[in-house]
Each structure stands twice: as structure tokens, then as C-alpha cells.
Amino acid sequence: MSAGVAVDGSSPRNLLDGPGYKVVDLAISRDFNLNERFKLRFRAEAANAFNMVNLGTPGNSVPSGATSTTFGVITSAQSMRKMQFGAAPNLLTSLAIVRAAVCRPDS
């Protein structure tokens, strides 16, 4: 056996462990009453809200009969924090009032 050459060995399954994965997703929404019939819903969402680093898995393949410079080396990471905001009018209340006024039978 020459030094630096990969050979088959007796390593058990799942010998390599990758780094842990931590993520916190948050969503907050609030309704604002603009008048009797209309509401405005504001929503804020964040994926990976605390921007925790989640590293990829280490390189785990060794080419046959050669050395590998990426074996056990982490070369990637998961996506960082993503945030989005939105606002939408709540028309269900106003449509229900209009429908009730239109569908009311004459007395």
C-alpha cells in the first residue's frame, strides 16, 4: 500500500456526521379596521428569522486509487434569511353586506 492512495476499508455505515440544522420561521399578521366594512390585513414573514448558519454536508467521496482534496471539507451552506411583507384588503365583510342587501326580499 502506498501512502496517499485510497483503498477499501472496514468503515461502518454513517461514519461521517454533518453539521446540525437549525432554522426558525416566523409569521405575524394584523388586521386594521379602516371603517365598518373594510379591513386591511398586514403580514410579515421571515424564513430563517435569526439568520443562523446552516452548513452543507462534508464531501464524502474518495475517487478510486486517488487522493481527494474535498473529502470531509464543507463547501456549501443553506440559504440565509428571507423576509417578505404584504398587505391585502379584506373584502369578505363588504361583499357579505352587499350580498345581503341585494338578496333581501321585498316586503
pLDDT tens-digit profile of 40-78?
899 999 999 999 999 988 887 776 666 778 788 888 888
In a domain, 5, yes or no: no
The answer to whether the beta carbons of residues 87 and 42 sit under 8 Å apart is yes
Stated pTM of the model: 0.57
Question: HSE-up of 19 (CA within 13 Å, CB side)?
Answer: 17
For residue 30, what are the domain limits? Answer: 26-56+71-102
Q: Model confidence over 13-30: pLDDT tens digits?
A: 777 778 888 989 999 999
> How far apart, in Å, do the first and last CA atoms of the chain sit?
101
Instruction: Provide the number of structural domains found in the chain.
Output: 1
In a domain, 18, yes or no: no
Query: What is the C-alpha to C-alpha distance for residues 75 and 5, in angstroms, rounded to an integer?
Result: 23
CB count within 10 Å of CB 48 equals: 19
